[in-house]
Structure 1
Amino acid sequence: MSQTCSVLIAAALLVVQLCMGEKSCTIWSSAGAVVQRDTSFDVYCTFNCKCRGSMYSGHPSTPQNYTELNSTTIYFKVVNITKNRTYSCQCSCSTTLDPCGLDIFTGYVPDSPKNLSCIYKVLNNKSGDVLCTWNRGRQTFLRDKTQLWLSTLAGNHTSKPEPHNVSSKGTGPLSVTFTVLRSVQLISVCVKACNELGPVVNATVEYSLTDIAMPLPPVLGRPECSSRECVFTVEQPVKTQHLQIQYKAAEQKWTSHPDLSVPMSSVPAQSISSLEPYSLYHFKVRSRFSTGLWSQWSTNISSWTQEEAPAKELDVWYAESECGSKSPRVYWKKPQISIARGKILGYRVRVYCPGSGLDRVTNISQDDRNYSVPTCANGEVTVWARNSKGLSPPATITHHTKAKSSQDVQVTTGIHNVTISWREPETALLPASYVVEWYPEGQKLEELRWVRLGGSEGHAVITGIKPFECYRGAVYVFYSDSSVTRMVFSGVTTLESAPEVGPSFQETFEGQIVKVTWTELPRSKQRGCITNYTIYLENSSGHLQRYSVPASVRTYVIQPLSPAVYSLWMTASTAEGEGPMGQQMKFLIQQGTLLTNVLVFGAIALIVVIVCLCHFSAVNQKFWVFCQCLMLDVVPDPANSKWAKECTHEKGKMNLQQQHSNSSTTEEEEEPILVDIEELPRQSGNISTSQLPPQISQSLDATPPYPATTYIKSLSHDSDSSEHTQSTTVDYISSHCLGDMEEDQEEEDQEEEEERLGFSPSHHLFSGPMSFGGKLTLDAVKIDFCSDFFQDG
């Protein structure tokens, strides 16, 4: 029976051994499983059988260079360990045995607690909570256990120390809270901390609860505010002896009211005065017992004070357009809240022109900042701001563009600002104030800005200057006698580069003269202040000409060009360089265009001179005689023409008809032919047109109303091929083209004959008196007129 039990016990031990897994070795550390960091120690392995063993460290396992202590033991020397490590050993004598391993934990002994402090938060009249905090020191990297030990003194009774466990998780300061009755006068506290490396205890600290007593934060009620004062209530669970109130407006700093805390009144209502109208104020409050600590600040509350009428006049300025094409405008700045004292509902503008009687008041929207005004001498513009409580004081500005100008201004540019400085004007009067205005070039009315300075200032720093933008402006100096001087500046920019594009232009031609007109570059493409434009002109031979034009000019005329094909393009430049060329245009200048224009202008000028000279009677007669020299020496007989015969067919009537001929040849008459001239009776000093053909009557009616005669020239001959009579008739109706045809008749007879026929002198071209009487022969017409033309009149 006993043998059976022995076998069973042996079998059970074998099963247990197989289940647990037999180790091939034993491993241990000379410093234990928990060691302090930055220390050195040895790790040993002893094998259960004779074999060749090995040692490993880390995850994954890394072979270590061990040292053999004897036939069954090896060891590895660990130097200045800094973190947790795992070591293991293995034997090759049997594959059924497991390797042995050891985990080494590293860390530090806890530091002594530092900066221990306790406060007593009074909850009510019976008890309060004590909160103690301290710094734990450096992290131990081990599992720490921390306790605060507390003992109290109430009257003559001292309690035994009691531990209060503290959670040591995290890395921040440690704290613990416990309840203490109001009857306790003193408390004693100490902190104990420990881990596997050892414990640490700080010295005991005693506190008087009256010294560390702190009331809970007060609760503020909703303020009730007028324009200058706010009143609110303060609620506290425990009565305190001191109250401190702080307030601020917008982004200002907190201000205490009063400057030092004062005993709290028994009345819970508190007031803050000397506030600004229409301002958002924030309030907070804290309290304190007669001794002890101030409570934490209450939650902030906010409220607006009520409005008042605006306190000051607006900042008003006046400007005219750079080109003068737009109406001048008056500008004003939106007042700050401290000046507006309320929400601005709109503006009121009055324009007064004493010379024209204009006195107009206009209400402007709250969003507007300028108003177009008429230009008038000695005009005044007054602007008011309006809120729910009334109008601001009036701001009046007069026309200041007649100010004298000078250039006594220096400009210093920075990366983000520009400094405008000036010399004090050399006048008997001291400057009362300055106004510096500036604006992007060409955008005066749209983006005008200005700043007002005192009379003692000598410079202004302008901010908000956009890079790659060209600015100009002026400094206005105002004197006590209302006089104004102006100092201008231009070409101001903070950053600059060459223009991005070239100008867009158009060319027009007047003969061989080319006129180029271009527009200003877009503002975003100028990249600074344009200094000049360059026009490039290249002919078909490759000859290139450049024309530099100032930045203020938009038109350039190129003088007469020789005939060729031309290419034209333009560029713009800043102080940093020349930009790329813009569009390129080609055009042709043709041959003879200039000569034709010169001849046309010369002919027009000659005609104008002749017409002017013909207004003189003596010159008029000389020209008529000269024209007679150009006529044929042999004058054909008009009496034998068909037209003359038809005209004399009926007595007292003239039948004027124009017949066209197909032949242009004439023959001279061999014999003189007499022509009968019949004088028609005068009717009101003019020849009657009632008996003329319609076409002739209309022609006579269209002539000016001076005495008219009819000069008839007839060319007739017999054709060689037929008996057809070819005639050419020319009708010239004028009172100044008839002259005396007899050489020996005196000038006095001519005047009598003209008076008898009803002619009067006139200043018509080629005019001269001519009389009719008796028989007119062609021989009598053959007179040398040229001899008189070159004689002195």
Structure 2
Amino acid sequence: MLPLWSVFVAVLFLLLSGEKSCVIRSTAESVVQRGSSFEVFCTFNLKCIGYMYSGQGPIKQRHEVLNSTTIYFKVVNITENRTYSCQCEGHKELDPCGLDISVGYLPDRPKNISCIYKIIKKESGVVVCTWNRGRDTNLRNSSALWVKTVSGNHTDGPVPYKLSNKGTELLSVNFTVSRSVQLISVWVQTENPLGSAQSSIINYTLSDIAMPSTPVLSELNCSSRMCVIKVEQSVKTHYLEIQYRAEQQTWTTYEDSVAQRNSSLWSISSLEPYRLYYLRARSKFSTGLWSQWSTNNLTWTKEEAPAKELDVWFAVDSKTMRIYWKEGNMSISRGKIIGYEVSISSPNNITITNVSADARSYSVQCCPSCEVTVRARNSKGLSPPAKVTTHLTEAKPLHKVQVRNDSYNITISWTKPETAPSPTAYLLEWYPEGNKLEGLRWVRLGKNENHTVISGIKPFECYEGALYAFYNESSFSKTKFKGVATLESAPEAGPFVQENIEEKNNVKITWTELPRSQRGGCITNYTIYLETKEQSPGGTQANSVPASERMYMFKGLRPAEYSLWMSASTGRGEGPAGQKTNFFIELKQRYVCNIKQTAQLHLILLFTQCCYKTFPSSTFQQFFTFSFSFWELFQCFMLDVVPDPANSKWAKECTQEKLDSSYSNVSREEEKVILVDVEELPKHNSDTPTSRKIFSRVTPPTSLSSETEPVIPTTYIKSFSHDSDSSDHTHTSLDTTVDYISSHGPGNFDEEDDEEKVEEFTDMPFIASHNIFIEPLVFGGKLTLDAVKIDCSDFFQNI
């Protein structure tokens, strides 16, 4: 058991721990008006150093000392609720003292009092009064509606109808009154801790504020032009007002007197077929206020056959005419379109085609004498036919047609012709450039209009179109316009180029249009760039081509390697270059010789070979120089008529042999060396023919050493044959492709010979060998290679 003194100390500790260290008070009440100023005092119960705190934290305040036990703090222009507290320094075991100050406003005087007498039953009704309490006081207010009633000579009241509110601007009170009450007087009183306010007294005659309950619409039954509606009300009224409207239209009011009717059914006429209508109703006593509108009721009227023909237009290409039509609006279609009927009438036949409801065009073959009609179909029937007439007489186009564009629209304006006849109507069509069949749009205009604005234009898209003026059913004029865009930019890419090398070093360039997404607007021109590998920087050739072109021809290009690319331009500038393409123009030398030249050449070669073996080297070189000069002069006297070497027996039996290796030491110091295949007859000391490559230069040498065979320019037949002394078989040329030039000399060619291919002769030098001529040269009759075969094996043998 604890000692007695221990219990006493514990009790004393508990008492001291719950004791306040001070007492706090204010010169104002606990609720003050916003902007008030006052003082807060703290008196401490023991001798200590005291401090005052306020606000969030709390925050230590700069207080003033009144005496040894009391401090105070001056509060100036308070704007919000505050808590003030004091604490004794060094005695944290003691509780601080605190004070809460609330800030608010005096209540405003209630205003805008309005009362309505809603009659729900025959015996009684409900009065609903509303008012505006004014600004929020930031304090809890209490309001009361005071009501005094008058029934004949009897007065009751006043009776308060209280309600508590905080932060609500519009207040309302309902109370029930008997149908015997004629007058009421109402006023509103509002109060809070800072004070109270009262409105003025307002007197009402209940018949002036009487309002019937909201009507209820039911059993709506509609035809195509009229709806029958049943109206239900809890009390009998004198007036009923019904309003109706189609979607996105204004309300139309239908009003009638209920007192003159014995039925609750009402008929609303003058409606349009196949429309969704909204209907609502309200009622009123002979005096008083209109009831509230009923909820909107929705109903559809029935369908009718389409009342008007479709808006139809057409586009024609080389073989096809495509018919376009616009979907009629609700007033024209008068129902849900379930399809279209396209009729093609020719002098001998009528073809009717049903098209789906989603279609807006139909293609037919061009028929100048045909008439095309289009009709829309709904559940009740077909529309009147819309005729498409293509065989119209074209008159002179309109003058002064102007096209202006801005960032969003295109404006077309024109001047009416001053001379008769005057147009009866206009039609404007427009479509993306080059895409009429897919993007055609149009609008019909009256005869008195002289301009229109096209909206919905895609940016960075080029448009073209035409303005039509119709003078009668068979005459019209057409004025075209093109290259119109709202927003433009330089093209995003260059065209893809293809080249084709033709004869005479001509190069044909073709390209395709840029995709619409890359054009940036209306293409004004293309630029073709041509550059050779040998050109110095800056030497690129640029050629501008109109935007309508798709082909360009480079003529007579010299042999070289070329690079080619293109770019496209709009009004905003030139786009980037397209992909480069490279091509090469080769150097080609083609000459034609005849058989007489070949025979004469063989004689010269034979004579030269014999001289070379007989005479000294120096004498032969002089002779070679003279022979070459003579050959150049001799070519001027050659015949123009060239017999066909491919038709000879000798050419068909020709063999391919190469020159002997003893002639391989030909000089290779010339500027250009050409590798050719040359066929050679075998020497007497060798039975096996050999084939080899030899080099020849374009310019003949001026001098030859004694170890080098002479090189003589001659016309070389690429394929020929000979009869070998040691072998009876025929050697075939390695080059099997044979082109030929037909002979215009006397004699006829065999049918088999006409089908053979003979290659053009190429003028180039080669090294001659002996034993070339086998048979003597004979002229006369039909000149063929068989006739000019020469055998001179023993020629000059005795020299």
TM-score in terms of structure 1 length: 0.72
Equivalent AA in structure 2 for residue 515 of structure 1: K
Q: Deviations over 1:258-304 (max 9, x none)?
A: 4x777562210000101111111111101111111111111211111
Q: Give yes or no for the alignment of 1:442 onto 2:434.
A: yes
Superposed counterparts of 1:232-631, under 5 Å: 232-258=229-255, 265-321=261-317, 324=318, 327-354=320-347, 357-399=348-390, 403=394, 404-405=396-397, 408-480=400-472, 482-511=474-503, 512-540=505-533, 541-542=535-536, 543-592=539-588, 596=590
- 2:76 is aligned to 79
CA distance in structure 2 between the partners assigned to 1:700 and 1:520 by the alignment = 52
Q: CA deviation at 1:150?
A: 2.0
- 1:154 is aligned to 151
Task: Say whether the 8 Å CA contact 1:537–1:568 is kept in structure 2.
Answer: yes
Match of 1:209 among 206, 210, 231: 206
Equivalent AA in structure 2 for residue 526 of structure 1: R
464-473 or 341-350, which moves further after superposition? Answer: 341-350
Classify the secondary structure of the residue corresponding to 1:339.
helix
Q: CA deviation at 1:329?
A: 1.2
Q: Give yes or no for the alignment of 1:139 onto 2:130.
A: no
CA distance in structure 1 between the partners assigned to 2:454 and 2:149 by the alignment = 69
240-249 or 485-494, which moves further after superposition? Answer: 485-494
Q: Deviations over 1:691-739 (max 9, x none)?
A: xxxxxxxx999999xxxxxxxxxxxxxxxxxxxxx9899999xxxx59x
- Root-mean-square deviation over aligned CA pairs: 3.3
- 1:720 is aligned to none
Task: Say whether the 8 Å CA contact 2:16–2:94 is kept in structure 1.
Answer: no
Classify the secondary structure of the residue corresponding to 2:165.
coil
Pair 529,401 (structure 1): closer, same or farther in 2 beyond 3 Å: farther
CA distance in structure 2 between the partners assigned to 1:409 and 1:180 by the alignment = 78
Decide which structure has the larger Cα Rg and report it: 1
Task: Say whether the 8 Å CA contact 1:24–1:47 is kept in structure 2.
Answer: yes
Q: CA deviation at 1:435?
A: 0.1
Classify the secondary structure of the residue corresponding to 1:239.
coil
- 1:631 is aligned to none
Pair 488,30 (structure 1): closer, same or farther in 2 beyond 3 Å: same
- 1:717 is aligned to none
Q: Deviations over 1:568-607 (max 9, x none)?
A: 1111111001111111111111122xx54xx68x99xxxx
TM-score in terms of structure 2 length: 0.71
Equivalent AA in structure 1 for residue 355 of structure 2: I
Equivalent AA in structure 1 for residue 332 of structure 2: I
Superposed counterparts of 1:767-786, under 5 Å: none
CA distance in structure 2 between the partners assigned to 1:40 and 1:248 by the alignment = 63
Pair 663,547 (structure 1): closer, same or farther in 2 beyond 3 Å: same
Classify the secondary structure of the residue corresponding to 2:474.
coil
Task: Say whether the 8 Å CA contact 2:433–2:464 is kept in structure 1.
Answer: yes
Match of 2:226 among 221, 225, 229: 229
Equivalent AA in structure 2 for residue 177 of structure 1: N
Q: CA deviation at 1:75?
A: 2.1
CA distance in structure 2 between the partners assigned to 1:211 and 1:155 by the alignment = 17
CA distance in structure 2 between the partners assigned to 1:93 and 1:550 by the alignment = 100
Identity of aligned residues (%): 57
Task: Say whether the 8 Å CA contact 1:661–1:727 is kept in structure 2.
Answer: no
- 1:40 is aligned to 37
Q: Deviations over 1:534-585 (max 9, x none)?
A: 1111111242011111111111111121121111111111100111111111
Match of 1:59 among 44, 56, 66: 56
CA distance in structure 2 between the partners assigned to 1:700 and 1:95 by the alignment = 139
CA distance in structure 2 between the partners assigned to 1:554 and 1:132 by the alignment = 84
Task: Say whether the 8 Å CA contact 1:429–1:480 is kept in structure 2.
Answer: no
Q: CA deviation at 1:85?
A: 0.9
Equivalent AA in structure 1 for residue 570 of structure 2: T
- Please list every run of 5 or more consecutive structure 1 residues that lacks an aligned counterpart in the other structure: 1-6, 604-622, 629-659, 665-698, 705-725, 739-764, 767-793
Equivalent AA in structure 2 for residue 162 of structure 1: V
Classify the secondary structure of the residue corresponding to 1:348.
strand
Q: Give yes or no for the alignment of 1:190 onto 2:187.
A: yes
Q: CA deviation at 1:353?
A: 4.0
Task: Say whether the 8 Å CA contact 1:27–1:88 is kept in structure 2.
Answer: yes
Q: Deviations over 1:671-709 (max 9, x none)?
A: xxxxxxxxxxxxxxxxxxxxxxxxxxxx999999xxxxx
Pair 401,24 (structure 1): closer, same or farther in 2 beyond 3 Å: farther
Q: CA deviation at 1:92?
A: 2.5
Task: Say whether the 8 Å CA contact 2:393–2:475 is kept in structure 1.
Answer: no
Q: Deviations over 1:39-90 (max 9, x none)?
A: 2222222223343322221010112222223333222222211110111222
Classify the secondary structure of the residue corresponding to 2:482.
strand
CA distance in structure 1 between the partners assigned to 2:132 and 2:374 by the alignment = 66
Q: CA deviation at 1:91?
A: 2.6
CA distance in structure 1 between the partners assigned to 2:753 and 2:88 by the alignment = 148
Superposed counterparts of 1:637-656, under 5 Å: none
Equivalent AA in structure 2 for residue 385 of structure 1: A
Equivalent AA in structure 2 for residue 270 of structure 1: W
CA distance in structure 1 between the partners assigned to 2:564 and 2:751 by the alignment = 58
Task: Say whether the 8 Å CA contact 1:502–1:583 is kept in structure 2.
Answer: yes
Task: Say whether the 8 Å CA contact 1:407–1:488 is kept in structure 2.
Answer: no
